[in-house]
Amino acid sequence: LKPWAFPCVQLRDSAIQQRQMSEIRQRRGGLPESAEEETVAKDNAAEEIVDKLRKAFKDTQPVKINGTSNEAKRCKEQLAADPYNIELILDLGTAYAIDGHWEKVCNVLLRGWKRAKEINDPERRTQLLSLLVEASYKCNKFKQALAVMSDIEEPQELEAVKSYELMRCKIYSANGDTHKGLRSLAAAIKDDAFDTAAPKWLHCLHALKRAGAYEESKSKLLEQVTEDVQSARDKLDLLEKLAKARDEYHEAAMGQEASPSSPSSLRYISAGLIAFIVSAMLLLLYHKERTSLARLNIT
């Protein structure tokens, strides 16, 4: 149930890099060591970009609204037999979320909201409230999301704190509280590398724009960049366009679910998205090539 984020791909380990250097050396008849390393770094970067864009396109596939799963049916039957069981309420809400039925998630988990403290396991208690926050947000019930969020206990572990602050950024911003939204964003991306912070910002982008905090939040993100600021700006602009294309595709896909008699618009948007990703890939590869040549002093 994690929110969409642009996939981050780790570089290959040193053994694979050494093998690649050896192969390139054999093909090219022996380049200077620094040139070989630069070439391998460029090749790795290019492969990384292709992999990122390939995975990003995979992530653009819309989440289809499925029928009710067997798991949801089972949980529903159990809850019908024991309608006040808070654990079963959470189980059914979770099953509906996996199925993509967010209105049903809201309806079910609202029954357990004020009883969340009855759940002994703190992780499951947080799960119920966090899931209700997400469902409320997806259903555009922003004030409800804010009210539920206020009942969540603040975590202690660093990564959990950052996830919590990311949620707060989105919900505060959706409710128009620019100051708190930006403050939570700063906490969520504190000390993160740019490639780690950028997906977090993109996750909250729609809400940040709603709060009128787009420019200021983007500036906060770019403060994470320690070198090659222009390259980071270019990458961020590209990621924004990809996120926008994804959102438009999702909206069209959801409209297609409601109106299956008009598939052409979805095909056009899908084709446009593919064309955009190919263009983005070529642009980034060109940028990497130009940067590598500059470092090798090749004109």
Q: Look up the CATH number of the domain holding residue 79.
A: 1.25.40.10
Please indicate, yes or no, if residue 183 is contained in any of the structural domains: yes
Tell which residue, 156, 179, 154, has the closest CA to residue 167: 154
pLDDT in tens, 8-30: 222 223 333 444 444 444 554 55
Domain that holds residue 248: 14-59+235-295
Residues 54 and 93 in one domain: no
- In the chain, % of residues over pLDDT 90: 48
Residues 22 and 163 in one domain: no
Cβ distance 3 to 204 under 8 Å?
Answer: no
Q: What is the DSSP letter of 82?
A: S
Instruction: For residues 151 and 248, state if they share a domain.
Output: no
More confident residue, 75 or 37: 75
Domain count, the chain: 2
In a shared domain, residues 218 and 240: no
7 domain residue, yes or no: no
**Pair (78, 211) in one structural domain:** yes
Give the closest residue to 60 by CA, choosing from 100, 102, 4.
Answer: 4
Q: What is the pLDDT of residues 230-282, one digit of tens each?
A: 888 888 888 888 777 766 665 665 454 445 444 544 455 445 555 555 555 55
For the cut 60, the answer to whether the pLDDT of residue 34 exceeds it is: no
- What is the rounded CA–CA span in Å between residue 153 and residue 149? 9
Residues 188 and 266 placed together within one structural domain of the fold: no
Q: What is the mean pLDDT of residues 168-184?
A: 97
Give the pLDDT confidence score for residue 188 in this predicted structure: 95
Q: Is the pLDDT of residue 200 over 50?
A: yes
Q: Are residues 111 and 149 located together in one domain of the fold?
A: yes
Cβ neighbors of 224 (< 8 A, separation 6 or more) are 189, 192, 193, 194, 197
Q: Using alpha carbons only, what angle is made at residue 284 by residues 247 and 240, rounded to the nearest 5 degrees?
A: 25
Average pLDDT of the segment spanning 202-212: 93
Q: How confident is the model at residue 195 (pLDDT cuts 50, 70, 90)?
A: confident
Whose CA is closest to 238, among 204, 285, 193, 271? 285
Domain end (from 222, 246, 261): 222
Query: From residue 145, how far is each of 102, 176, 230, 263 by CA, in Å?
Result: 13, 13, 37, 34
What are the pLDDT digits (tens) for 105-151? 999 999 999 999 999 999 999 999 999 999 999 999 999 999 999 99
Q: Which of 164, 198, 222 is the last residue of a domain?
A: 222
Q: Cβ(11)–Cβ(48) under 8 Å?
A: yes
pLDDT of the residue at 236: 86
Quick one: angle between helices 142-149 and 122-138, nearest 10?
160
The answer on 191 and 290 residing in a single domain is: no
Tokens of 283: 């642009």
On whether both 153 and 218 belong to a single domain, the answer is yes
Instruction: Read off the amino acid at residue 44.
Output: N
* CA 192 to centroid of chain Cα atoms: 15
For the segment 162-190, the average pLDDT, to the nearest whole number, is: 97
Residue finishing a domain among 222, 243, 274: 222
Please check whether residue 229 lies inside any domain of the structure.
Answer: no
Query: Are 88 and 207 within one domain?
Result: yes
- Answer whether residue 65 is part of any domain: no
Statement to judge: residues 48 and 155 lie in one domain: no
- pLDDT > 70: percent of the chain: 60
Of 67, 70, 44, 122, the residue nearest 285 (C-alpha):
44
| 163 domain residue, yes or no | yes
Using the structure block, give the residue that is written with the tokens 């939040």: 217
Q: Which of 51, 47, 50, 54 is nearest to 20 (CA)?
A: 47
Is residue 130 within 8 Å of residue 152, measured between CB atoms?
A: yes
- Residue 22 lies inside a defined structural domain of this protein: yes
* Residue 281 resides in a domain: yes
Residues 79 and 148 in one domain: yes
Among positive and negative, which fits the CA dihedral 25, 27, 32, 35?
negative
Domain presence at residue 64: no
143, 162 Cβ separation under 8 angstroms: no
φ/ψ region of 120 (left if φ > 0, alpha if ψ in -120 to 50, else beta) reads alpha
The amino acid occupying position 35 is: A
- Report pLDDT for 44: 59
Write down the residue that tokens 């919590």 correspond to: 164
